[in-house]
């Protein structure tokens, strides 16, 4: 009893000492801030002083604990919340003129009659064309609170007079599903760009649509998906798993373990045929070095539960969970409070040094230099990081991203130097926009649907010539005939995809581009093998 009492007293004293240290630290910080504000030789912005102090604290922690100003917070949360307020158009700039690519279906602009190809030349009698206004400033003028009116002046081909539209701003959805279409008979393709508040709902709509079109198996593309909401990822992963299957769990120093399980009744469960072999519901997940966070949760759950195969390159390796802490002025701290772990127990957070964000940011570049993105045998894992999948007991590794089941090397020869420089100078996109703008009506007439376009359209030589002529004006030209020969196939494919996007949408863009995507073609090969077993 005396020993227990002594231990209790010792624990209480330690707790009191910690509280005292904490109070002294806060008092020290307060005195420092007060001294600078009161005594410093020049005037100081007290608000900025406090923000800099917060940033200073967080910079010494992990790479994902951050502070954002009210403006930065709004910009960061809009895509995650799944909407923003504005007029609802996809647009691009050709030189200094805004051209509408597509009005949002059912959005404010479409409702008043704005169509693809329209040029918005003024907002509220302020010219935005021919004045070298930045794209960000134009977006600021077009966006605004729901219910407010944007008074637009529009120039339309074939119409002599300038048109006037009063567009009532509204909530505009931000879609996180980039593409959803039938890749082959029986095989669907869904590409997810991020995990937002609306991703699960969007995914279920896409899944249902493809199942109605005869989808039996799925290629789930998470390449370049930087993550987002953990809950959205967990809900989505649950659609592939049986009730009770573990998806992910989180745990931290002050955060108790929290498990996320499949709730049952998944819409894409594995079904077996008469012979007991898988008959449908097979899935292949595509990943690359930019696949991170919530996207790694989905990938890890499918791999660890032996639910499907993973194809691509080792993922980014973000296994840290951030908790948002909001301030009254709209600013926010995103503080790392836990690690997340895949069902086999892997923590896939890649190594980092506290306070060294530069080395962390250079990781992808270092992977390229080491040859990892090109040669599978350049990737090495310690035996201490070895784990096993839950059903088939296959070896998987923790300690830095998710290693795919089938490695696809980065093809550094696909885009030549010439192609990269033409794209970097926006020559490809600008000439594409001009071409579609001039030929939209005749293209629509000649190709009434995408299937006819994909099967029959060929990029005209005149468009290639225009790109090369523009490039030459900026001293971008092929070094020799061989470089030009190597450039043309991918350039033509990209242009066809961009034209498809501008005439229809992103699903059509990926439908064209994926025909030459090594990871997609490997997925098709694997699904064919699985179906024939």
Q: Which residues are catalytic?
A: 293, 304, 318
Torsion on CA atoms 519, 524, 529, 533, rounded to nearest 10 = 130
Sign (positive or negative) of CA dihedral 271, 272, 277, 280: negative
Q: Is 156 left (phi over 0), alpha (psi -120 to 50) or beta?
A: beta
Please say whether the beta carbons of 203 and 188 come within 8 A.
no
If you ran DSSP here, which 8-state letter would residue 41 be given? S
Structural element, H or E, at residue 294 = helix 294-304
Nearest to 280 by CA among 245, 246, 240: 240
Please say whether the beta carbons of 435 and 428 come within 8 A.
no
SS3 442: helix
Residue-wise over 267-300: b if at least 16 C-beta within 10 A, else e?
A: ebbbeeeeeeeeebbbbbbbbbbbbbbbbbbbbb
User: What is the residue whose two structure tokens read 């059912």?
Assistant: 106
Torsion on CA atoms 25, 30, 35, 41, rounded to nearest 10 = 110
If you ran DSSP here, which 8-state letter would residue 233 be given? H
The first and second tokens of residue 54, run together, are 């917060």
Nearest to 389 by CA among 283, 307, 318: 307
SS3 265: coil
Please say whether the beta carbons of 391 and 446 come within 8 A.
no
The packing angle between helices 427-446 and 481-503, to 10°, is 50
Sign (positive or negative) of CA dihedral 360, 361, 367, 369: negative
């Amino acid at each position: 009893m005396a020993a227990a009492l002594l231990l209790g007293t010792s624990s209480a004293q330690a707790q009191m000492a910690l509280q005292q240290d904490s109070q002294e630290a806060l008092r020290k910080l307060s005195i420092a801030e007060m001294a600078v504000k009161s005594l410093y030789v020049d005037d100081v912005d007290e608000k900025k002083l406090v923000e800099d102090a917060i940033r200073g604290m967080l910079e010494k922690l992990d790479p994902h604990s951050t502070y954002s100003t009210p403006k930065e917070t709004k910009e960061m949360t809009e895509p995650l919340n799944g909407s923003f307020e504005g007029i609802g158009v996809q647009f691009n700039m050709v030189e200094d003129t805004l051209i509408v690519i597509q009005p949002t279906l059912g959005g404010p602009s479409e409702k008043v009659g704005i169509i693809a190809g329209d040029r918005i030349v003024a907002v509220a009698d302020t010219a935005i064309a021919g004045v070298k206004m930045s794209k960000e400033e134009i977006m600021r003028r077009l966006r605004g609170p729901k219910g407010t009116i944007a008074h637009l002046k529009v120039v339309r081909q074939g119409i002599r007079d300038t048109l006037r539209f009063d567009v009532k701003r509204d909530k505009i959805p931000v879609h996180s599903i980039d593409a959803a279409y039938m890749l082959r008979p029986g095989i669907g393709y869904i590409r997810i760009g991020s995990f937002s508040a609306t991703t699960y709902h969007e995914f279920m709509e896409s899944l249902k649509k493809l199942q109605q079109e005869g989808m039996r198996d799925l290629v789930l593309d998470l390449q370049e998906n930087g993550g987002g909401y953990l809950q959205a990822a967990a809900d989505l992963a649950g659609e592939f798993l049986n009730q009770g299957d573990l998806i992910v769990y989180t745990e931290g120093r002050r955060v108790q373990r929290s498990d996320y399980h499949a709730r049952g009744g998944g819409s894409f469960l594995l079904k077996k045929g008469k012979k007991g072999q898988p008959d449908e519901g097979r899935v292949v997940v595509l990943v690359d070095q930019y696949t991170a966070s919530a996207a790694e949760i989905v990938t890890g759950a499918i791999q660890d539960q032996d639910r499907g195969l993973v194809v691509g390159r080792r993922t980014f390796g973000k296994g840290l969970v951030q908790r948002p802490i909001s301030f009254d002025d709209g600013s926010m701290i995103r503080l790392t409070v836990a690690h997340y772990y895949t069902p086999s127990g892997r923590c896939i957070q890649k190594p980092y040094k506290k306070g060294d964000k530069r080395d962390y940011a250079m990781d992808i570049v270092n992977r390229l230099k080491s040859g990892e993105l090109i040669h599978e045998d350049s990737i090495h894992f310690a035996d201490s990081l070895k784990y096993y999948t839950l059903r088939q007991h296959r070896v998987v590794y923790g300690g830095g991203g998710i290693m795919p089941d089938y490695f696809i090397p980065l093809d550094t020869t696909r885009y030549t130097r010439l192609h990269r420089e033409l794209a970097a100078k926006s020559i490809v996109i600008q000439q594409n926009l001009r071409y579609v703008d001039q030929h939209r009506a005749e293209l629509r007439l000649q190709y009434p649907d995408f299937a006819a376009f994909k099967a029959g359209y060929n990029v005209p030589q005149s468009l290639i010539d225009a790109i090369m002529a523009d490039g030459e004006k900026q001293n971008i030209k092929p070094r020799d005939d061989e470089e030009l020969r190597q450039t043309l196939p991918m350039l033509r494919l990209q242009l066809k995809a961009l034209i498809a996007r501008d005439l229809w949408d992103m699903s059509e863009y990926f439908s064209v581009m994926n025909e030459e995507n090594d990871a997609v073609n490997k997925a098709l090969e694997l699904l064919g093998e699985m179906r024939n077993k």
